Structure 1
Amino acid sequence: MKKSRIIVLASLAFTFAAVANIMSTAPAKVDLTPLLAIGEKYDVRIIRDEFGVPHIYGKRDADTAFGLAYAQAEDDFETLQEVILATRGQLAAVRGADAAKTDYLIQLMGVWDAVEAGYDTELSQAARDVAQAYADGINLYAAQNPHLVADFVLPLTGKDLIAGFTFKLPLFYGFDTELSALFDGTPRELSLQGVTALTFTDNKQPERGSQGVAIAPHKSSDGKTRLLINSHQPLTGPVAWYEARLHSEEGWDIAGATFPGSPVILHGHNRHLGWSSTVNKPDLVDVYQLTLNPDNDDQYLLDGQWVDFEIQDAKILVRLLGPLRWTFSEPLYSSRHGPVLKLEHGTFAIRWAGMGEIRTLDQYLALNKATSMAEFETALAIASQPSINQVYADGKGNIAHYYNAMFPRRMEGWDWQKDLPGDKSELIWDDYRPFNDVPATRNPGSGFVFNANNSPYLSSVGPGQPKPQDYSPTMGIETGVTNRALRLKRLLSAAGEISREDFYRIKYDVFYDEDLEAIGRLKAFLAAGKQDLPASLHDAFDLLASWDLGTQRDNRAAALAVLTLTPLIDSRHTEDEVDIARELQESQDYLQAQFSRIDPPYGDVMRHERGSNSWPLDGGPDVLRAVYTDENPKDGYRRNVAGDSYIMFVEWDEDGQVSSRAIHNFGSATLDEASPHYADQAPLFVEHEDRPVRLELEDVLAHASRDYRP
């Protein structure tokens, strides 16, 4: 058996092109006339405040969605069309062979089969109207700016947006990582009935996480309910945050942030309640080892019978040179379990939470419009969001943490962390556990809840938290902890009543916790002494030993310490062995080469960059002031690329009146360097400052920089 030709296409495409009869496949010419008139269907007003943030007022929800799309297109049309091409499986037709893997994955996952089958029957009319309106907003902007539009983009339909949810959400809990492990030949271990090596999973978290914190009135010094919305994302690209304020006369009234291609607020607050989203990674992917018929490899064994695979043809249109494109074909196999991969080291079927699910927009619209804790939970109970934690607060003083996921209803007595035998139909689950089975912490006596990509069993302190013994091991619930979770537990527990200033201080904490496993390993290294190290490392060793575990921008030990520590933190995710002495040597060499000393101020090394400007930063990997960097090849410093991005502080007073403040890592104009909003929030961001979120129309108009109707 061979690896998929699509997977190796990036390296072979031009070889094929040399011998193939290459076709020039041009996209169909699109008549822009009806698209240019499409705005007449919608009644919407866009008011941009002094920071360029769009405040969108529509008569209907559809009008508001249309305006959101138009505003996003103005600020970042390039990313929007990349997202659309990717979810259509047409990225390789425009970007070339390197994008073929994404196009193949779309077809392997059956994204468009699910959308076409259920769009008119499973999705509500309200969701379809919003999706189509959002598509029309992009269509109008594209028709007005045809020089920006890539081939195959126009026209968009509502189905494009629904396909985006179906495709992208499983990637947040690691579906693509599980798939990659199959292709790279990672040794597989087969589960045996009655042998459960793990009761709960300690799934490896990505280095980039998120956090949310909610504080009840009795824990606040002024009786207010507080919510921190603080997801950690890449600062640019298809999952970078875009801020907006949405209002319609049909009850949509929310402020917060979303991604390119999403017609709703993904986390934020309305008048009544708000929530912060963080990534969780329960075990939601199952791999089955199939037995092929030795006389017919298009059949597999199931319940003692040879069963035929369903076989389709995946066709990937790939751009080769200029206008020249070639359609590559690859058979797609599927079994009762799900999609099948025939690989050199075996044949595997995969099944995952959210496969074929297209109702996510309905759930998000319900979350956006919820007015109480009961309505919020009813929205979560739609259960069309495969994963994602929610940290919740509302104007009535309720707080909660939901370890939200679509948990498969699996057979007990098997270790679902391992591969399953593919010949037993009883192991093919076809249903999910009800929302009541989701681990949740509601209104604990401690007065606070939090999540920082850690186990739901650490969501507060004291009574009220979920207990491991109450949940089936088949749910694959995480038990891991992050530095950020340890810091939140320590800081929130130590505080008495929490003021607004305390809340800010906790969010912007820049320290590693002494209980973090990686810190323990570092301390053990230091305790062993430097006698076995080369003399050239003794000064670096002494500097590391002097470190206070902080990442303040003026800290002269922090740069060396963080560079040395980061592989220790990452090793939890990769299981790699880390030689601390070697990491210390490499960190010393880098600092000496780039800064001519091993103790430069931390802010000289870690920088927040936008255009030609850069600013010194504090914070680091897996601290509450989260900063993840890569090396700037031009200037040599470490450039901030992910982590703290969109941050929102929300308060409800004793009368239930809401107010909030927010900050974006750069500004509302994602790609337009000529815009005054390209980097206008960056100086505030680096100084831990923010700006008011304007909720009242009169306030928005008093600070408006632009007021228009698309």
Structure 2
Amino acid sequence: MTRLKIAGITLVGTLALGFAGLASWEPILASAGTAPPARIYSAEIIRDRFGVPHISGKTDADTAFGVAIAHAEDDFFTLQDVVAMSRGRYGAIAGEDGAKIDYVYHLIDARGTASREYPKLPADTRALFEAYAAGLNQYAADHPAEVKLANLFPVSGVDVAAGFALRQPFFFGLDSVIGPLAAGEELRREHGPDIPGFPRPSLDDADTAEDSSPKQARTLVLPLGEDADHLGSNAFAVAPQKGGGTTTLISNSHQPLRGGVAWYELVVESGEGWHFAGANFPGSPFPFLGHNEHLGWTNTVNTPDMIDVYKLELDETGTRYKLDGKWRALESEWVTLPVKVGPVVLPIRREVLRSAHGPVIRNDNGAFAIRYGGIGKLDQLDAYYRLNKAKTFAEWEGQLARMAIPSTNFIYADAAGTIAYVYNAAIPARPEGVKADWRNVLPGDRSDLIWQGAVDYATLPRLVNPASGWLYNSNNTPFTAAGAGSDLDPAAFSPLLGIELKQTNRSRRAYKLLSEASVLDRATLERIKYDNAYEREGYVARLFDALDRIPRNGDLAEARDLLASWDFTADSKGRADAIALLMIRDFMSADYSNKPFPDVVEKLAAARDHLMTHFGRLDPPMADLLRLRQGALDLPMDGGSDTLRAATTWDVAEDGRLSLKHGDSFIMWVEWQPGQRVASRSIQPFGAATTRPRNPHYTDQMKLFVEHKLKPVHFWRDDLLANASNRQVVTNARR
């Protein structure tokens, strides 16, 4: 054999070994997780005619075990993504996008937070998480062909808790700080506290102020399934005196229709008194919103000033920072991020830095530390569990008063006729009297600016049983929530809270329609919930004012005139609805995200070109453009990017149609009528089995969804058994 052949064989062998190493190093390095303590669980899963699982067990832990099994039966694909995120391994599945999440996982010390705080949780809460982990492990063991990543299972309760620690800050915009800092871009802030030289805009000025949009620029959206540029939800509560004797709670959360923060509907029940109908996200043993027999609640995203950024002064080595005149060493840790590229997984080394303030990011402009509400805490796991089992308003509010749940508005109603709105937020307890511009980047060399803990619950905006008889929130300021004469006065709240003064089109429409109604019965509320109109105010007014300035001749004249004729509704009845739909979203996004206002001429030209290219006309029916698609089903949609009937964002398909991906998602309508037990109805955009194309419940709710219809929730066991389609007992006992 010639030397050339030998060299060639050696090279091929070396490449083969290298390829094998890149294909196998990650699961070997990761190794298997730790299984929960050995215990036998047993749960019954009864599915109704739409495949929605009703999970019951002797204990709460048994039920949580069943929750994991039921959810895995419907969407093990997404559950594995969430598990991989909770172990810093998502890049091995999702490549570069997954590695971004893994980096943040290490940066905010999600695993360290879980490891420190999880053992402090009450025993029954930990038992719930251990049981849920056992359910995931059981399903993975029973279905090895479905497992995406070697050594991903078993998982423990700490692993599940780490997923919570990772995801919770993103609901109040942590990604919109990390992204610009990592890219070396400017942070765009909303309003801040009143300090000399930095006046706070008034509520009346909030929509026209240059910095009136949510606090930070949302330039990096980590692929957790949440499109942060288009956060949105609607929530309504009506007291019996306004609702014709009925107490009503409407949950209308706008989440992505697929992915790690898409809603999954379920009903849970146990022999220990846990009985709740609602929805959770993948990776949770309990629902996050919904109702029990006595009470219910729903949530909308709020945008308080939860995050502070500090610029550090580093020494010549770049390894120390100055604090109170002394040099301190930056905490440094090197981590390996797995990045899947084709058939191999590359190991990418990254340094993670922290200071006394929190995580640290270095860019060309220096080193910046981040501190945010709820940092290093995990007691929301216990608080949500207790909320599920609360029986009275006092019990329920007692859990919120712990300030354990870092953010989101809560709209509440109960069987006694109480309705309430709480602007829930673990807002940093910034020291009064300290001279600092909290809205901008702070000096990192002063320890008096490193706050500890959250403000008192009593300082937050809160309304209980307003005279109007109704409450709502549509991601707007808390100072419009209950109507004239019932709303809170913004002057009564400290500017250090950084409470947003924002309005949305959904808020303007809800406020107007609720205020005009003499009775908020079911029919009236349905008209409000599915309203698809815009007010010519805020960014909509700016858009159409700019449109009026476009010359009435030229190549855009026809498109301009068509859009100018729009009736400001997204009901797919008007000739201009399609072109308006294409136009509105980017202007809404700029307003929400405090980005530069788009060029109207440029956007109008793009909308015209899109319609002419794919439809051959400027005025196709909007329903031909906006679609709800899953598998072989392709249905027309109504609504718009900031209407109460929300069709917020979409993917543009090859045929030019807009395939909805974010907007109205899980809707739940709860009613307590005099002398009757609680009843509810709900709907999902697709079906219960969101990633199982062969399952009959893959698309079986779609037609109802597009027709503005709801299906019954079988909360009570007798009703469930009369409408059951499948019944099974699941256990981890050896068979």
TM-score normalised over the length of structure 1: 0.92
Q: Contact between 1:196 and 1:415, CA under 8 Å: does it hold in 2?
A: no
CA distance in 2, matches of 1:616, 1:577: 30
Which of 430, 440, 452 aligns to 1:410? It is 430
Change (3 A) 1:82 1:657: same
Query: How far apart are residue 404 of structure 1 and its match?
Result: 0.5
Query: How far apart are residue 638 of structure 1 and its match?
Result: 1.0
Change (3 A) 1:203 1:414: farther
Moved more, 170-179 or 581-590: 581-590
Match of 2:398 in 1: 378
Match of 1:562 in 2: 581
Query: How far apart are residue 118 of structure 1 and its match?
Result: 2.2
Report whether the alignment pairs 1:51 with 2:50. yes
Report whether the alignment pairs 1:180 with 2:199. no
Report whether the alignment pairs 1:209 with 2:210. no
2:481 is paired with a residue whose SS is coil
Which of 503, 513, 526 aligns to 1:504? It is 526
Amino acid at match of 1:216: A
CA distance in 2, matches of 1:611, 1:178: 36
Change (3 A) 1:310 1:550: same
Change (3 A) 1:189 1:446: closer
Match of 2:78 in 1: 79
Change (3 A) 1:49 1:63: same
- Aligned positions of 1:529-678 closer than 5 A: 530-531=551-552, 533-534=553-554, 536-572=555-591, 573-655=593-675, 657-678=677-698
Query: How far apart are residue 658 of structure 1 and its match?
Result: 1.1
Query: Per-residue displacement from partner, 1:257-295 (whole Å, max 9, x unpaired)?
Result: 11111111111011111111111111111111111123x
CA distance in 2, matches of 1:444, 1:299: 54
- Aligned positions of 1:353-364 closer than 5 A: 353-364=373-384
Report whether the alignment pairs 1:60 with 2:81. no
Change (3 A) 1:494 1:182: same
CA distance in 1, matches of 2:528, 2:599: 32
Report whether the alignment pairs 1:290 with 2:289. no
1:46 is paired with a residue whose SS is strand
Report whether the alignment pairs 1:517 with 2:515. no
Q: Contact between 1:606 and 1:629, CA under 8 Å: does it hold in 2?
A: no
Match of 2:132 in 1: 134
Change (3 A) 1:674 1:194: closer
Q: Contact between 1:415 and 1:474, CA under 8 Å: does it hold in 2?
A: no
Change (3 A) 1:697 1:470: same
Query: How far apart are residue 124 of structure 1 and its match?
Result: 1.1
Match of 1:444 in 2: 466
Match of 1:704 in 2: 724
Query: How far apart are residue 467 of structure 1 and its match?
Result: 2.1
Query: How far apart are residue 344 of structure 1 and its match?
Result: 1.7
Q: Contact between 2:54 and 2:268, CA under 8 Å: does it hold in 1?
A: yes
Amino acid at match of 1:215: V
- Aligned positions of 1:154-553 closer than 5 A: 154-187=153-186, 195=196, 197-199=198-200, 202-204=212-214, 206-220=229-243, 222-294=244-316, 296-319=317-340, 322=343, 325=345, 327-412=347-432, 413-514=435-536, 516-528=537-549, 530-531=551-552, 533-534=553-554, 536-553=555-572
1:244 is paired with a residue whose SS is strand
CA distance in 2, matches of 1:508, 1:25: 52
Change (3 A) 1:320 1:152: farther
Query: Per-residue displacement from partner, 1:650-689 (whole Å, max 9, x unpaired)?
Result: 1111236311111111000111111110000000000001
Query: How far apart are residue 557 of structure 1 and its match?
Result: 1.3
> Aligned pairs, how many?
685
1:246 is paired with a residue whose SS is strand
TM-score normalised over the length of structure 2: 0.89
CA distance in 2, matches of 1:374, 1:37: 35
Query: How far apart are residue 594 of structure 1 and its match?
Result: 0.9
Match of 1:7 in 2: none
Amino acid at match of 2:58: K
Q: Contact between 1:440 and 1:465, CA under 8 Å: does it hold in 2?
A: no
Q: Contact between 1:94 and 1:151, CA under 8 Å: does it hold in 2?
A: no
Match of 1:9 in 2: none
Change (3 A) 1:234 1:194: closer
Change (3 A) 1:189 1:293: farther
Query: How far apart are residue 18 of structure 1 and its match?
Result: 9.4
CA distance in 1, matches of 2:482, 2:472: 6
CA distance in 2, matches of 1:97, 1:207: 23
Amino acid at match of 1:371: K
1:206 is paired with a residue whose SS is helix
Query: Per-residue displacement from partner, 1:387-425 (whole Å, max 9, x unpaired)?
Result: 111111111111111110101110234221101101111
CA distance in 1, matches of 2:519, 2:36: 56
Query: How far apart are residue 318 of structure 1 and its match?
Result: 4.3
Query: How far apart are residue 195 of structure 1 and its match?
Result: 3.4
Query: How far apart are residue 194 of structure 1 and its match?
Result: 5.2
Change (3 A) 1:302 1:401: same
Amino acid at match of 1:401: Y
Moved more, 379-388 or 628-637: 628-637
1:83 is paired with a residue whose SS is helix
Query: How far apart are residue 37 of structure 1 and its match?
Result: 13
Query: Per-residue displacement from partner, 1:556-608 (whole Å, max 9, x unpaired)?
Result: 21111221222222221242232223222221121111111111111111111
Moved more, 673-682 or 632-641: 632-641
Amino acid at match of 2:590: S
2:438 is paired with a residue whose SS is coil
CA distance in 1, matches of 2:689, 2:341: 33
Query: How far apart are residue 633 of structure 1 and its match?
Result: 2.7
CA distance in 1, matches of 2:229, 2:702: 25
Calculate the aligned-residue CA RMSD, in Å. Answer: 2.6
CA distance in 2, matches of 1:702, 1:307: 67
Change (3 A) 1:435 1:37: closer
Q: Contact between 1:45 and 1:57, CA under 8 Å: does it hold in 2?
A: yes
Match of 2:704 in 1: 684
Amino acid at match of 2:144: P
- Aligned positions of 1:101-112 closer than 5 A: 101-112=100-111
Alignment gaps of 5+ in structure 2: 1-16, 202-210, 215-227, 731-735
Change (3 A) 1:420 1:704: same
Change (3 A) 1:50 1:35: farther
